[in-house]
Structure 1
Amino acid sequence: MGRTSDTRMRTREAAANLVAEGRSPHELTVDLIHAEIRQGSRTTINDELKLWKGEQAKFHALHSGIPPVIVQAMTSLWTLAVKEGEKTFEQQRENIEAERDAAVQQAQTLESALASERDRGAGLEAQWQAQKVVGERLREELLQLQGNLEMAQSRQQTLEQQLVQAQAEARRQLADERAAAEVRLAALQASMVAQEREFRTEMGKATERLEGVRKHVMLQVAEAREETRHAEALLAKTREQAERLQREREDGIGQLATVQGRLEAELAQSGVLERRALVAEQRLEEWLKATNKPARLIRKTPARPSAIQHRSGGRD
């Protein structure tokens, strides 16, 4: 850059130096100037040399009446001024070139920074695209999770409805079983009361007839009463368990089965008492026969319903 203007300036400088050395302006040629400055194209040197020669011709025409010594002095001053101007121009040129080089360096630095920022921007763009892909995937997963959550909530509602229905059904069944248990308990109590009344009546009659075996019979009666009280306690406990069946619906059916088993055990115990009474009567008959008591004193005990009949009746 600036090579052409430098060639023109140095062409003028070389021409002035040659003239100062004693050469005439018309003797100066392009080859002579090129040999001095060793740069630029001959066309540029030729054009600038023609301009310089024209200026010199005008200068000499204007100062044709001036003595040669003055002209020579003026020419020297002109040459000196031209050299000083050239030095100033060269300094300014160097300053401008230094500023240009600094500007170029700064531009290169800015271009490098711009390239770095572009690379960084490309990296950020790639990261953004990657984050965008991740965000889309997360969004799809979120939508899937929301769908699964809605399905789970719907299933939960269905299960809750089924649970409410099952609880209502269990309460209804529990109420039915409790009512049936109450009926069976009432029937069992009535049967046991009747059996106890009949047993006491028979035992009273047997006491009148069998004074000799009163203590033995009374012992049997005491045992029977103790077993009856035990049966009543078991019945009370069974009733309490039946009341808890409503609060413990999960274990209600199992507890009810336990109560039924205990009721059957009580019925079995009632059968044992009945068999004991029959054994006592048989012993009484044998004793009467052995002591030759009149047959009219022997009375048959009325037939009682067996424990099996009570059991079947209670279940019905």
Structure 2
Amino acid sequence: MPSTGKDPNLLVGLDTSDDAGVYKLTDDIALIQTLDFFTPVVDNPYDFGRIAAANALSDVYAMGGKPLTAMNLVGFPTETLGLEILAEILRGGAEKVCEAGAVLLGGHSVEDKEPKYGLSVTGIIHPDRVLTNAAAKPGDVLVLTKPLGIGIITTALKAGMASEEAEREATAVMSALNKDAAEIMQEVGAHACTDVTGFGLLGHALELAKASSVNVRIFAAEVPVLAPAREYVRYGLIPAGTRRNLKYVAQFTRFDDNLEEEERIILADTITSGGLLISLPEEKAARYMELSREKGLNAAIIGEVIPGKGNLEVYKES
């Protein structure tokens, strides 16, 4: 298990760009700590609150833990936007914290020209059950628990070009907790995990590969994608962050010559509140998929872990 600094109780720190910090309190309890906040990705303030809260809670789930407490982080322009809008944001966040089984303790707000919202979250886990991005093993398969395309759809939304159906679909994906996905992964015995957010699937897969000193092979045809995203990317509705992601990962990635540019962009798409990318033994993958279907999750086996030195291989098909 990775360790940073001189304190032996610091189980996960800065070493491997993991999703949260983990600090051992006793032989049976470790704290998971994380925070995240951002500007609105949808127009509805209530939905924005739900999405931002689900996104912050996801880091605890990515470590295999259970959220315990949360605190609001708020930046808000009180002089230009009504407090009823802030109330709706906070209502959405509070409901999502409650759904996670955690307790909202309070928080802090500052005056800001642009609305920002998120959570500081503390979770708990047994020290021996912490999942990191640094323990993927050759022979593992990779499971992704939510579809891609969020960044492209929200960019279309900002441009006034997204359909209401696309907005509803993207909102449903972003506001869904990774709670069930994390519980199943602990039940079947995964080796490693990270959640897919701003760096896109390829960026977070690359972090997992480097932290675990392996190569990751992804099969684009197996990756679930929200259908409107494929349409919008052809219109050029591509986030600047997605282009930066693709440019960065390209230096560490071998792309199949048959892979179209549009497919590469989707795989690198910057995501808000995405799914978990889970590395687990091949013999446990069928059980994970079975339990996922029972919970109604849109999980898919999208790749495999092979020997290597921290690089990616992306093929069109397996």
> Normalising TM by the smaller chain, what interval?
under 0.3
Which structure has more RCO (C-alpha within 8 Å, separation ≥ 6)?
2
Bigger CA radius of gyration? 1
Greater helix fraction, Structure 1 or Structure 2? 1
TM-score, length-normalised on structure 2? 0.22
TM-score, length-normalised on structure 1? 0.22
Greater strand fraction, Structure 1 or Structure 2? 2
